[in-house]
């Protein structure tokens, strides 16, 4: 009856929604699908965090509207967490904003900072939702290719000078979804100097900040000198504490960006359910052993997967962080054709790289979100395919 607004029609198609539909159609037909396509953590939230939610839910004060912009003690906990983990100083009131999940913050920021027609630099391949906020802000994009030969870091020399002049905002994401790359100090330092030179605000998406392999702890963008002058980092509890359904994250860093987000959110929400804020407080301030154990679990899964794939003759590189492996598809297939072929023949779902951008073509993404024996079973099924014989 009612037509959608032009703004809504401009939103890009939600790539994962179509992947889920396809996978479900195979499950409904009775196939035992090994779903390596999505990015949903399979482990439960640690029990001490659940307990904290239960206790807080019993407290009537948590049933009211919580204060605009959230509980002060939670913002203090975020600041202390950054000090402890990264030796970064944050003022809890002016440099920390509470978000309804990282995704909300990533979509809100372009709306908060851009006028129609302004330009945003976006990694390609990349997390598709960066494009959603850009579409809502009616802004333009300049894609930054992430090439394997440059360890999936953008090469700023490839971006034309006039595009750098126009750019107002840039998204980065390390450890990276979908490539599994992690960033170097030198790259972040180069980003800060580029940003200062061209007055570009940097949004570093640190969703996989807690997942680094081979003893490499991923760097926070804010560890670099001058980072707070030019950008913010988005830190979500979804992956670090297996709290994806809880919708709690933070934007930290530049105070003018934090204040723009806060102002916008004042008009959309009041704040998160108080009991969820209390549980987030517990997650950040209690023992971090659960985070170390989860990192080790993903590393074991990564090792099983990469070793197995190389053994069947699919030569692939190991990711350095995040919980994704990014694999070159065998010759003769597009990424969509290859993932359709796997789903149809051996009932394994992988995300086609083309869903992450033009430079994702030629790759598929696997999530390390399945038990080791299921990953091994996936390898055994792949081994039977004629292309690996």
3-state helix, strand, coil in the chain (%, to 5): 50, 15, 35
Should residue 242 be labelled a site residue for ligand PLP when binding is judged by CB under 6 A? no
Should residue 249 be labelled a site residue for ligand PLP when binding is judged by CB under 6 A? yes
Query: Are 242 and 212 contacting, i.e. CB atoms less than 8 angstroms apart?
Result: no
Q: What is the rounded distance in angstroms from the CA atom of residue 319 to the CA atom of residue 286?
A: 29
Should residue 123 be labelled a site residue for ligand PLP when binding is judged by CB under 6 A? no
Query: Are 73 and 281 contacting, i.e. CB atoms less than 8 angstroms apart?
Result: yes
* Contacting ligand PLP within 197-216 (CB under 6 A): 205, 207
Q: What is the rounded distance in angstroms from the CA atom of residue 46 to the CA atom of residue 57?
A: 17
User: For ligand PLP, which residue of 52, 79, 173, 339 counts as binding (CB under 6 A)?
Assistant: 173
The distance in angstroms from the start CA to the end CA of the chain is: 55
Interface stretch with ligand PLP, choices 65-73, 97-105, 131-139, 331-339 (CB under 6 A): 97-105
* Contacting ligand PLP within 321-380 (CB under 6 A): none
Query: Are 175 and 217 contacting, i.e. CB atoms less than 8 angstroms apart?
Result: no
Q: What is the rounded distance in angstroms from the CA atom of residue 138 to the CA atom of residue 143?
A: 16
When the beta carbons of 103 and 168 are compared against ligand PLP, the nearer one is 103
When the beta carbons of 178 and 274 are compared against ligand PLP, the nearer one is 178
Interface stretch with ligand PLP, choices 4-12, 21-29, 100-108, 194-202 (CB under 6 A): 100-108
User: For ligand PLP, which residue of 33, 34, 36, 39 counts as binding (CB under 6 A)?
Assistant: 39
Please state at what angle helix 255-268 crosses helix 102-113, rounded to 10 degrees.
100
User: For ligand PLP, which residue of 220, 236, 339, 370 counts as binding (CB under 6 A)?
Assistant: 236
With contacts defined by CB under 6 A, how many residues of the chain interact with ligand PLP? 13
When the beta carbons of 98 and 305 are compared against ligand PLP, the nearer one is 98
Least gap, CB of 136 to ligand PLP (angstroms): 16
Q: What is the rounded distance in angstroms from the CA atom of residue 346 to the CA atom of residue 340?
A: 10
Least gap, CB of 246 to ligand PLP (angstroms): 9
User: For ligand PLP, which residue of 37, 101, 319, 355 counts as binding (CB under 6 A)?
Assistant: 101
Should residue 102 be labelled a site residue for ligand PLP when binding is judged by CB under 6 A? yes
Neighbours of 367 (CB within 10 A): 24
Query: Are 159 and 142 contacting, i.e. CB atoms less than 8 angstroms apart?
Result: yes
Q: Which residues make up the interface to ligand PLP (CB under 6 A)?
A: 39, 101-103, 127, 173, 177, 205, 207, 236, 238, 244, 249
């Amino acid at each position: 009856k009612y037509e959608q607004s032009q703004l809504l029609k401009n939103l890009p198609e939600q790539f994962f929604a179509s992947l889920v539909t396809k996978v479900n159609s195979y499950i409904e037909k009775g196939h035992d699908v090994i779903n390596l396509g999505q990015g949903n953590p399979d482990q439960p939230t640690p029990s001490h965090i659940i307990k904290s939610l239960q206790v807080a839910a019993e407290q009537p004060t948590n049933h009211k509207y919580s204060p605009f912009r959230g509980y002060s003690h939670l913002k203090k906990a975020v600041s202390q967490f950054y000090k402890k983990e990264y030796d970064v100083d944050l003022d809890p009131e002016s440099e920390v904003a509470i978000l309804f999940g990282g995704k909300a913050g990533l979509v809100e920021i372009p709306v908060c900072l851009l006028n129609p027609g302004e330009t945003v630099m976006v990694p390609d391949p990349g997390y598709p939702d960066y494009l959603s906020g850009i579409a809502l802000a009616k802004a333009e994009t300049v894609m930054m290719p992430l090439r394997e030969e440059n360890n999936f870091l953008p090469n700023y020399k490839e971006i034309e000078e006039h595009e750098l002049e126009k750019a107002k905002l840039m998204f980065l994401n390390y450890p990276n979804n979908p490539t599994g790359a992690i960033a170097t100090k030198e790259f972040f330092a180069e980003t800060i100097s580029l940003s200062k030179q061209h007055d570009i605000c940097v949004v570093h998406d640190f969703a996989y900040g807690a997942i680094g392999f081979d003893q490499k702890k991923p760097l926070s963008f804010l560890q670099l000198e001058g980072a707070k002058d030019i950008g913010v980092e988005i830190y979500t509890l979804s992956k670090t504490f297996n709290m994806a359904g809880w919708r709690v994250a933070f934007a930290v860093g530049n105070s003018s960006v934090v204040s723009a987000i806060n102002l916008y959110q004042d008009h959309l929400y009041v704040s998160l359910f108080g009991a969820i804020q209390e549980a987030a407080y517990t997650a950040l301030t209690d023992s971090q052993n659960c985070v170390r154990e989860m990192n080790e679990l993903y590393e074991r899964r990564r090792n099983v997967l990469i070793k197995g794939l190389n053994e069947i003759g699919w030569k692939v590189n190991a990711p350095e962080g995040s919980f994704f492996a990014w694999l070159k598809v065998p010759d003769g297939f597009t990424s969509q054709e290859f993932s359709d072929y796997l789903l149809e023949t051996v009932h394994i779902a992988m995300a086609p790289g083309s869903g992450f951008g033009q430079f994702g073509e030629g790759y598929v993404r696997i999530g390390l979100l399945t038990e080791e024996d299921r990953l091994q079973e996936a390898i055994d099924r792949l081994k039977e395919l004629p292309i690996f014989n």
